[in-house]
Structure 1
Amino acid sequence: MRIVIAEDAAVVREGLVGLLRERGFDVVAAVADAPALLAAAEEHRPEAVVADVRMPPDLRDDGLRAALTLRERHPGLGVLLFSQYVETRYADRLAATGLAGFGYLLKERVVDVADFVDALRRVAAGGTALDPEVVSHLLAARPARGGLGALTARERDVLALMAEGRTNTAIAAALGVSLRAVEKHTAGIFTKLGLPRTEEGHRRVLAVLRYLGS
């Protein structure tokens, strides 16, 4: 699996290169700025890119904007944003291109290398890997529409964990509530977002997909 890494912090960049190569990934390029990310992705045509959000030349949201450009050029490209910042303006647009093959993880919240590697494999295979905090920021940044404004605070919590791909049992454990309560909140989310009962098999991400794609 070919991977391009874009990270301006040299120690972090080299650390990612090492740990991914040890786990069988083919890191075809590791760059330090957004223009180099665009060039490397066009040259090597990787299955996925791992990109920081803030990097040169402007040290603002250059990495995220480069990722958006790549997704527009190559819709099948997996993009895993790996940053200490939650940037909603362009991340919202990036997620709106489709959550298939999209991930956004916060550096300080990844405590297990295996979790990071698993997230990258999911993204490269067309899956989703979203930190619940990122989901909350994305949803809060958008105008209330498509029924989202009717969700309760607890339903928002459940929605964020659903976007991580967690089962109802795992959501119950994370929130410290019963499985029955999670099932009730999940049903409420589907109803308020207008998701037909026949689509409930995709509950891990469908509610977030429907909202961000609206």
Structure 2
Amino acid sequence: MRVVVADDSVLLREGLVRVLEEAGHDVVGSYGDADELLAEVEDLAPELAVLDVRMPPTFRDEGVRAAIRLRTEHPTMGILLLSQYVEVAYAQELLGSGGGGVGYLLKDRVASLADLTDAIDRIAAGGTVLDPEVVAQLIGRRNDPLASLTPREREVLQLMAEGRSNTAIAQSLFIGVGAVEKNVTAIFTKLGLEESGTDHRRVLAVLALLQR
């Protein structure tokens, strides 16, 4: 897969490039800020962009802004945002830009080749990947509008938010795939997510979790 990387930390950026190349990906561009990436992305035609959330000049949300622009101009490009801390609002904003093929991970995860490769594979397949720490904070909030979900349905939704397939959820919870499908259907029903030809209901379910 053709990948571009943007992070102002030289050490982290070089580490990302090395890990991605070890996983068999072709890193076609590496940048210290989002503007440099955006200026060259058209010519490079990457399939995935990995961006730090906070980059020069303000170190606020440059990566998020760049990610949303990339999603608008290149809808099929996968996006993986990296952050030092759990910042739910940024994850919500990225997912709210529409569709799957997006991820939000804490930087600690990139130290593991297996974790990073797994996330990239799921993003490339059109999935949505949220860091388990982000999901844990969301699940633990009070005044839960998802209170109608059963404990098992909450477990299933949490794993959905991490980008797991029904088969992977079944393996994680030691239940059958059919049982997972029933729980997923119940989640959609309770959240009022009707079958649609344009909306990805798994993404919408994760958005419901983020908008708590």
The bucket for the TM-score relative to the shorter chain is 0.7 to 0.9
| 1:58-102 per-position Cα deviation (integer Å, ceiling 9, x unaligned) | 111111111111111111111011222233334323212334211
Q: What RMSD in Å do the two structures reach over aligned CA positions?
A: 3.4
Corresponding residue number in structure 2 for 1:202:
none
Identity %: 51
Inter-partner Cα distance in structure 1 for 2:77 and 2:179 = 37
Cross-structure match for 1:172: 173
Deviations 1:88-140 (CA, angstroms, capped at 9, x unpaired): 33432321233421111112245631221232133234333222333456789
Cα pair 2:23 2:113 within 8 Å, conserved: no
Asked if the contact 1:86/1:134 (under 8 Å) is kept, the reply is: yes
Structure 1 181/110 Cα, relative in aligned 2: closer, same or farther at 3 Å?
A: farther
* Partners of 2:2 and 2:27 within 8 A in 1: yes
Larger mean Cα displacement after TM superposition, 151-160 or 65-74:
151-160
Cα distance in 2 for partners of 1:125, 1:92 equals 20
**Structure 2 CA distance, aligned partners of 1:53 and 1:67?**
9
Q: What secondary structure does 1:24 align onto?
A: coil
Relative to structure 1, is the Cα distance of residues 192 and 30 closer, same or farther in structure 2, using a 3 angstrom cutoff?
Answer: same
Which stretch of structure 1 is more off in the superposition, 87-96 or 46-55? 87-96
Does the residue aligned with 2:115 lie in a helix, a strand or coil? helix
> Could you tell which deviates more after superposition, 130-139 or 17-26?
130-139
1:123 equivalenced with 2:123 (yes/no): yes
Letter paired with 2:164:
G
- In the superposition, the TM-score normalised over structure 2's length comes to 0.75
Q: Output the amino acid matched with 2:59.
A: L
CA gap of 1:18–1:207, structure 2 versus 1, over 3 A, is closer
The superposition leaves residues 154-203 of structure 1 with CA deviations (integer Å, 9 ceiling, x where unpaired) of 64443121222153334426xxxx7799777545423311346x89xxxx
Look up the equivalent residue of 1:82 and give its one-letter code: L
- Whether 1:206 aligns to 2:201 is yes
Contact 1:193/1:211 (8 A) holds in 2: no
**Which residue of structure 1 aligns with residue 66 of structure 2?**
66
Q: Which amino acid aligns with 1:212?
A: L
In 2, the alpha carbon distance for the partners of 1:127 and 1:184 equals 20
Residues 1:159 and 2:146 aligned together: no
Structure 1 unaligned spans of 5+:
200-204
1-structure distance, mates of 2:90, 2:115: 25
Letter in 1 for 2:121: R
Contact 2:16 2:110 in 1 (8 A): no
The one-letter code sitting in structure 2 at the alignment partner of 1:165 is R
Counterpart Cα distance in 2 of 1:67 and 1:41: 12
Aligned length: 201
Contact 1:101–1:123 (8 Å) recurs in 2: yes
| Alignment CA distance shift 1:137-1:34 (3 Å) | farther
**Alignment of 1:10 onto 2:10:** yes
In the other structure, the counterpart of 1:96 is 96
- Going from structure 1 to structure 2, the CA distance change for 1:152 and 1:60 (only over 3 Å counts) comes to farther
How far apart are 1:11 and its partner, in Å? 0.8
CA 1:67–1:139 in 2, change beyond 3 Å: closer, same or farther? farther
Contact 1:7 1:51 in 2 (8 A): yes
